[in-house]
Amino acid sequence: MDLDFSPLIDSWRFIASGLGLTIVLSVAAVVCSFVLGLAVGLGRMYGPGWLRVLLVFYIDSMRAIPVFVVLVWIYFAVPIISGHSFDPFWAALIGITIHVAAYVAEVIRAGITSIRKGQTQAGLAIGMSGAQIVRKILLPQATVRMLPAFGSIVSVTIKDTAIAAVIAVPELMRQAETVAGQSYRPIEVFTTVMVIYFLLIFPVTRLIDWFYGRVAHLGRS
Partner 1 sequence: MKLDWSIVWQSRWLLFEGALVTILLTALTMLIAVPGGIVLALMRNSRLKPIALFATGFVELFRNLPLLLLVYWAFYVMPVLTGFGLPPFTTGLVALCLNVSAYNSETFRSGINSIRRGQSEAGLALGMSRLEVFRQIVLPQAWRRVLPILASTWVSLFKDTSLVSVIAVGELAHTAMQIRSQSFRVLEMLTAMAAIYWVLGYPQAKIVDWIHRKYGVRE
Binding site for partner 1 (CB under 8 A): 1, 60-61, 63-70, 72-73, 76-77, 80-81, 155, 158-163, 165-166, 173, 176-177, 180, 186-187, 190-191, 193-194, 197-198, 201-202, 205
One-letter amino acid for residue 158 of the chain: I
| Spatial distance between the Cα atoms of 206 and 79, rounded to a whole number of angstroms | 40
| Spatial distance between the Cα atoms of 147 and 175, rounded to a whole number of angstroms | 32
Q: How far is the CB of 88 from partner 1 (least distance, A)?
A: 15
Q: How far is the CB of 36 from partner 1 (least distance, A)?
A: 19
Are 175 and 15 in contact by the 8 Å Cβ rule? The answer is yes
Q: How far is the CB of 62 from partner 1 (least distance, A)?
A: 9
Q: How far is the CB of 171 from partner 1 (least distance, A)?
A: 10
| Spatial distance between the Cα atoms of 171 and 157, rounded to a whole number of angstroms | 14
Q: 61 or 132, CB closer to partner 1? A: 61
Q: How far is the CB of 39 from partner 1 (least distance, A)?
A: 21
Q: 38 or 65, CB closer to partner 1? A: 65
Q: 117 or 126, CB closer to partner 1? A: 117
82 by Cβ neighbours in 10 Å (0-12 / 13-18 / 19+) ranks as exposed
Let me know how long the chain is: 221
| Spatial distance between the Cα atoms of 193 and 206, rounded to a whole number of angstroms | 20
Q: 89 or 177, CB closer to partner 1? A: 177
111 by Cβ neighbours in 10 Å (0-12 / 13-18 / 19+) ranks as buried
| Per-residue burial over 53-74, b = 16 or more CB atoms within 10 Å of its CB, e = otherwise | eebeebbeebeeeebeebbbeb
Q: How far is the CB of 132 from partner 1 (least distance, A)?
A: 26
Q: 46 or 76, CB closer to partner 1? A: 76
Q: 35 or 76, CB closer to partner 1? A: 76
